[in-house]
Amino acid sequence: MLAKRAMTDSAARRLPEHSPYAQAARRDHEEYGQKIIQAQQLHEQLPAASQRPWSWGLRSGHRVLARDVERTVGFLDDTDDAIIAAADLLQRSGRWREAWERELDPLRDSVAALDSVLEDRAEMTAQEERAATDLVRLGDGISTELDELTTQLQQDRIDVDSALERLDALTGELSAAVSRLQQLHIARLAEDGDEEEVLREAAGDVVDEEYLSLRARRHRMEHLGAGSTFWHLSPVLWYSSWHHTSSSALETHRSPSASGSTAGYSGGGFSGAGSSSRF
């Protein structure tokens, strides 16, 4: 644990002072230090495996403690990697290309989801079809620009902050186009105000894609609680998920009696945590 922490602390010291993207990594490093202390305190409460009675793990308090240790250690592992990757990227050192590809992933996922935008083309109004076609055309252009940005970085013709800002700008263009398409899609499907609300509220049921990029961390820092990070990073992929989720929600709203179901319960054994190599 000490060796990995030394690497993480060293990476934090390499973060550029004036980069707005580095600020998110520095904040993560502050929280990282607090979590280190918390993890040590939690681990001290765990009895050694050889000293645990046969009943250890059966009580809810034991399970809560073990899960707390597991979650904290998981956070530390993720944050270790994120801070080191941020320093590598912003300084263009070490494994910066891997970190850069991580920044591209949300937009590449959106580009890959463009075909889904035209899935129900036959049912679209002329205005909706035009908006969908414009979105696909925009996405195709963005795909080309991502490759160009990568080349510019490799050839030192653009600094990293400017490249990241361009990714944010491209994402904003996609978000605006997706928002226009979504409005037209809702206008076509909804028969009244209640159905419009059902379709809009389905956004809350979209399963979040947890991106670990530096841009994602900056967004979470600056817009805490202000909507889905998924939407702000990969809007077309988000739209594809919302499209299916909202259709199901509307069907359920129109035929509520057909949506009833019963849920069962399944239990499993408890393996416990606390054997992390960090401690």
Question: What average pLDDT does the structure give for the chain?
Answer: 83
Tokens of 226: 């202000």
pLDDT, one tens digit per residue, over 108-153 is: 999 999 999 998 899 999 999 999 999 999 999 999 999 999 999 9
**Could you tell me if 121 and 129 are in contact, meaning their C-beta atoms sit under 8 angstroms apart?**
yes
Q: Looking at the structure, do residues 101 and 90 belong to the same domain, yes or no?
A: no
pLDDT, one tens digit per residue, over 11-69 is: 889 899 889 999 988 888 888 788 777 777 776 676 566 556 655 554 555 667 777 77
pLDDT, one tens digit per residue, over 214-247 is: 998 888 887 765 456 788 899 999 999 999 999 9
Q: Is 276 inside any structural domain?
A: no
Place of tokens 């994402």: 171
Name the pLDDT band for 265 (thresholds 50, 70, 90).
Answer: very low
Q: Looking at the structure, do residues 64 and 168 belong to the same domain, yes or no?
A: no
User: What's the pLDDT score for residue 160?
Assistant: 96
SS3 assignment, position 268: coil
User: What's the pLDDT score for residue 50?
Assistant: 59
User: What's the pLDDT score for residue 224?
Assistant: 64
Q: Which domain holds residue 14?
A: 1-94
Distances (CA, A) of 256 to 173, 243, 252, 261: 37, 19, 5, 11
Q: Looking at the structure, do residues 141 and 205 belong to the same domain, yes or no?
A: yes
Among 36, 62, 94, the domain boundary falls at 94
Q: Looking at the structure, do residues 126 and 83 belong to the same domain, yes or no?
A: no
User: What's the pLDDT score for residue 232?
Assistant: 86
Count of domains forming the chain: 2
Name the pLDDT band for 159 (thresholds 50, 70, 90).
Answer: very high
User: What's the pLDDT score for residue 89?
Assistant: 96
pLDDT at 96 over 60: yes
The Cα 93–Cα 42 span in angstroms is 35
**Could you tell me if 188 and 239 are in contact, meaning their C-beta atoms sit under 8 angstroms apart?**
no
User: What's the pLDDT score for residue 22?
Assistant: 92
User: What's the pLDDT score for residue 59?
Assistant: 52
User: What's the pLDDT score for residue 55?
Assistant: 55
Q: Looking at the structure, do residues 143 and 164 belong to the same domain, yes or no?
A: yes
The Cα 53–Cα 257 span in angstroms is 50
User: What's the pLDDT score for residue 158?
Assistant: 96
Q: Is 153 inside any structural domain?
A: yes
SS3 assignment, position 48: coil
The Cα 211–Cα 166 span in angstroms is 18
Continuous H helices in the chain:
2-13, 20-45, 60-91, 96-112, 126-154, 160-189, 193-201, 214-222, 229-233, 235-254
Give me the amino acid identity at 125: T
Tokens of 56: 């250890």
Q: Is 66 inside any structural domain?
A: yes
User: What's the pLDDT score for residue 123?
Assistant: 94
pLDDT at 276 over 50: no
pLDDT at 72 over 50: yes
Name the pLDDT band for 275 (thresholds 50, 70, 90).
Answer: very low
Q: Looking at the structure, do residues 147 and 238 belong to the same domain, yes or no?
A: yes
Q: Is 38 inside any structural domain?
A: yes
**10 Å Cβ neighbour count for 25?**
28
Nearest Cα neighbor of 88 from 186, 193, 8, 170 is 8
Q: Looking at the structure, do residues 75 and 145 belong to the same domain, yes or no?
A: no
